[in-house]
């Protein structure tokens, strides 16, 4: 829908607002762990996590855990 404003006939189109569910809050310990133990800012961790599988062809983690290990103790 649209409405006309005043004498200058400026049209403004309004969209219906879509409400998205709010993401669940991040546990404080998780952010603290990343900063203190990982020595990495949380924002950097999130950015790296987004790009984790970017160059992987099939986007699946490998299930061959000992692919490069000759002797398993």
Return per-residue pLDDT of the chain as tens, 73 residues: 445 555 555 555 555 666 767 767 778 888 888 888 888 888 888 888 777 766 665 556 666 666 666 665 5
Please tell me the pTM assigned to this model.
0.36
The residues, ordered by sequence, that sit 6+ positions from 66 with a Cβ below 8 Å of its Cβ are 72
> What pLDDT shows up at residue 66?
61
State both tokens at 70: 């000759």
CA-based nearest residue to 26, from 46, 44, 40: 46
Tell me how far CA of residue 52 lies from CA of 40, 47, 57, in angstroms. 16, 9, 12
> What pLDDT shows up at residue 68?
61
């Amino acid at each position: 829908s649209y409405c006309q404003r005043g004498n200058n006939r400026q049209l403004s189109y309004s969209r219906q607002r879509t409400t998205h569910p709010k993401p669940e809050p991040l546990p404080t310990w998780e952010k603290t762990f990343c900063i203190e133990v990982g020595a990495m800012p949380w924002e950097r961790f999130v950015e790296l996590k987004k790009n984790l599988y970017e160059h992987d062809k099939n986007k699946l983690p490998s299930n061959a855990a000992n692919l490069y290990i000759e002797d398993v103790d």
